[in-house]
Homo-oligomer: A and B are copies of this chain.
Amino acid sequence: MPLLVMKFGGTSVADLGRIANAAEKVRREVERGYDVIVIVSAMSGKTNELVGWVETTSPLYDAREYDAVVASGENVTAGLMALRLQEMDIPARSWQGWQVPINTTSAHSAARFVSIPRGNIDAKFAEGFKVAVVAGFQGVSEEGRITTLGRGGSDTTAVAFAAAFGAERCDIYTDVDGIYTTDPRISGKARKLDRIAFEEMLELASLGAKVLQTRSVELAMRYNVRLRVLSSFEDTDNNSGTLVCAEEDIVESKVVSGVAYSRDEAKITLFTIEDRPGVASSIFGALSEAGVNVDMIVQNISEKNYDAAHPGAVTDMTFSCPVNQVARAQKALEDAQAAGAIAYDELIIDTDVCKVSVVGIGMRSHTGVAARMFKALSAENVNIKVIATSEIKISVLIDRKYMELAVQALHDTFGLESAS
């Protein structure tokens, strides 16, 4: 029997009506001949309520108890979904993490899968059950304690089940109808993609596209699980949504697949630091210890700052980080300076920047993408402050006021409006 994994997020199971709506989508697949594993999140709002209770009760909570409390939200949805399916004469039962069992590490609130033995659920399918409703986001440790996978963990649960059970596909039902070439709120020309490669989705996810968790995409790529993102709130058919799949399954051949952005970035520059081994390590070690998520890093010789007081070779160091981490970064650097671990003349902070990126597996085989990007920005008089590239992505830091303009210009330049 072919098997499908279907995952419904919190807004898709927010109340009994939406659970019934999701159950209809499951029914359609059962009627088409699939055995189905349904992964459910907690009803939206429930997890936040539980987290709030835990944090109020114990600000520095024991993560094991946090997990035991917070995982209960998914258990409720799983039971209600199973009941709804039974009510539709579809043989179904709910599974909590420990019942499957979903074996994970003991890293509470950030657990990783160890194994998902198929035996128990396969036995139920063999008995004639058509649907296994599994509580997402949770598992059980070797010590028999309930674990959770961290926020967005239900996507990861879905992909892990698809891999473990050799599912034909893993459908992620959510509140958007697919992955777009860019944010439709910024460009009216944004177009839904039929397909996108795992690598591209990974870059987009890490750039802030909130549709899929980075980890779930990584896992799908590693096990070659075909992921489909589609809407819970629209009529969907076999061609709905966006398929996230291996590069060889992509027929479209655009050089760039999408334009992403991250609004709230900051740029920090350390002027006149020693240019010697170990300097970068001292700087970014201090930032890392302070919990600053450094993104782009650029180092360049600052000849113009050279003076006799600094006879050795000197350089500047620039990096970006989320704007809400600037205070923390500044304190970490000043403390390191005071402690003598690093030395710099000046710290310049620019909190009015954003990041715009173009992503596409086509870049691997096409040259000149960066040049086209820079030319397009130049034509709009947008000054580029920092550039960072990967094999399939080019990101630039620019003034925040140009963000929408830059996204629209790049969307036009790379012809993303049309599919061909």
**A residues at B contact (CB < 8 Å):** 16, 19-20, 50, 53-54, 56-58, 61-62, 64-66, 68-69, 72, 75-76, 78-80, 82-84, 86-87, 93-94, 96, 98-99, 144-146
Contacts and interface: CB of A to CB of B under 8 A. Distances in A.
Contacts of A57: 16, 19-20, 80, 83-84, 87
Contact of A69 (B66, B80, B146): B80
A61 to B, nearest CB: 6
Contacts of A94: 65, 68
Nearest to A74: B72
B65 A69 contact: no
Contacts of A78: 68
Contacts of A20: 57
Nearest to A49: B76
A183 to B, nearest CB: 36
A125 B42 CA distance: 34
Contact of A72 (B16, B61, B76): B76
A134 to B, nearest CB: 12
Contacts of A84: 57-58
24 contacts: A16-B53, A16-B56, A19-B57, A53-B76, A54-B83, A57-B83, A57-B87, A58-B87, A61-B86, A62-B82, A62-B86, A62-B93, A65-B80, A65-B83, A65-B86, A66-B79, A68-B79, A68-B94, A69-B75, A69-B76, A69-B83, A72-B72, A96-B146, A98-B98
Contacts of A66: 79, 83
A154 B144 CA distance: 23
A87 B57 CA distance: 8
B58 A83 contact: yes
A65 B79 CA distance: 5
Contacts of A61: 83, 86
A68 B306 CA distance: 70
A68 B83 CA distance: 11
Given A16-B53, A68-B96, A58 B76 contact: no
A69 B96 CA distance: 10
Contacts of A56: 16
A96 B58 CA distance: 20
A144 B54 contact: no
Report, nearest first, the 7 A-B pairs whose CB atoms are least far apart: A69-B79, A58-B83, A72-B72, A68-B79, A58-B87, A65-B79, A57-B83
Contacts of A96: 68, 146
A186 to B, nearest CB: 39
Given A57-B16, A76-B50, A80-B54, A65 B87 contact: no
Interface centre among A75, A80, A87 (most CB of B within 10 A): A80
A22 to B, nearest CB: 12
A58 B83 CA distance: 6
A57 B88 CA distance: 11
B99 A82 contact: no
A64 B93 CA distance: 9
A68 B82 CA distance: 10
A228 to B, nearest CB: 27
A14 to B, nearest CB: 12
A146 B99 CA distance: 10
A64 B84 CA distance: 13
Given A58-B83, A58-B87, A65 B93 contact: yes
Nearest to A96: B68
Interface centre among A68, A98, A144 (most CB of B within 10 A): A68
Contacts of A86: 58, 61-62, 65
